[in-house]
Amino acid sequence: MQKIRFFDFEISKEERKSVLGVLERRWLRQGPEVEKFEKKICKLTGSKYAVATSSCTGALHLSLLALGIKGKVLVPSLTFPATCNAVVNSGNIPVFVDIDPRIYTIDPEEIEKIARKDKDIKAIMPVHIFGMPAEMDRIKEIAETYDLRIIEDCAQAFGAKYKKRSVGMWGDVGCFSFDTVKPFTSGEGGCVITNNEEVAEKVRAMKDHGRIKNRFVFFGLNYKPTDLQISLLNAQLKSFDKVMRRRKELFNQYSRLITKEGIEKPFIPKHVEHAYVYYTLKLPVNAEDVKNELMKRGIETKTYPPVHMEPAYAKYRKRLPVTEEVCEKLLSPPLFTMIGEDEIKYVVENLESAVEKLL
């Protein structure tokens, strides 16, 4: 029986050399590697400012604080809990919003229904899930109408574009993740991008204990990444275009090979460029049952319980019919740069037979 992990990676010679260079310089904490990385992020996204952080969770938390959000924040439930945790930990209240049934991102029309009625809404936190950008032009229009700030959660969408503009560049700030399961990884890591200099400088100070020019001007936090971590990313980003092409090829292989009726493949609108982070299917049966069956066959997959149903969020819980129906059936098979076509064929064969068994 083959064993295929959900995510795997290999460390290239270039990455080893980059990390070794940091060790030999004996400067492990935030320094020249972080500065180089921030410049590269600005170039790749088109942003004026980029501030590297120790995680995307930290980036989201810092962004909410830097923007001075105080009130309710609209969030989808189909996301990783970090999105909502950042809202709560910044002293705000998460208000869950249902999703678009085709692309699984926050539904702009549901946003407007809530914003129209609730004057305590202060911000929208759209999540570009699986690599799919949310409908940002409509979300931006609503935000302008109701005077709301936008914090884009781009944790799963580094490299994605909406109408030819990078995700993260539609709102006030955008936050990226570089944790272990992302195509570009430093083990843990994040970044805030913005065109607002004041916000960028607040984030930069807040992540370093509230320090500005060696004076501690407010109560900050410690969300600094290290040069050791970021050196990995600097080496990986040299192959940005190559990695994105490879992931698109793998994504398309899955789409070609999956033929079973009832399995819904990812829908990608023509006006977006997907980041190909996860290949996510909607199954005709319970996804958790398929996940368990595939695990018996040596294949790791990922399912998506909605955040509003987690115990920590019980007091914020509400009925989200689309989210609840969709999340019960979403499953992502393995997708990583090293996976081979034979392994994808093996995954698809077993996926389709597992679905058939459970129908």
CATH node for 13-238: 3.40.640.10
Long-range contact set of residues 339-344: C-beta below 8 Å, sequence gap at least 24: 339/4, 339/8, 339/250, 341/253, 343/2, 343/4, 344/250, 344/253, 344/254, 344/257
For residue 5, give every residue at least 6 positions away whose Cβ sits within 8 Å of its Cβ, in sequence order, or none: 300, 334, 336
- Predicted pLDDT of residue 84: 98
First-last CA distance in the chain: 24
Neighbours of 200 (CB within 10 A): 21
Note the pLDDT of residue 153.
98
In this prediction, residue 306 carries a pLDDT of: 98
Predicted local confidence at residue 328, as pLDDT: 98
Q: Where are the alpha helices (DSSP H) in 171-218?
A: 197-206
Q: Taking the chain (359 residues) in consecutive chunks of 10 residues, what is each chunk's mean pLDDT? A: 92 93 91 97 98 98 98 98 98 98 98 98 98 98 98 98 98 97 96 98 96 90 96 97 97 98 97 98 98 98 98 97 98 96 97 97
| Nearest to 186, CA basis, from 71, 4, 55 | 55
Q: Would you kindly state where each structural domain of the chain is located, as residue ranges?
A: 13-238, 240-358
Note the pLDDT of residue 177: 98
The pTM assigned to this predicted structure is: 0.97
Tens of pLDDT along 123-172? 999 999 999 999 999 999 999 999 999 999 999 999 999 999 999 999 99
CATH class for the region spanning 240-358:
alpha beta
pLDDT score, position 235: 97
Residue 155: predicted pLDDT: 98
The per-residue pLDDT for 311 is 97
**For 3-40, what is each residue's pLDDT tens digit?**
999 999 889 999 999 999 999 999 888 999 999 999 99
Q: What is the pLDDT of residue 190?
A: 98
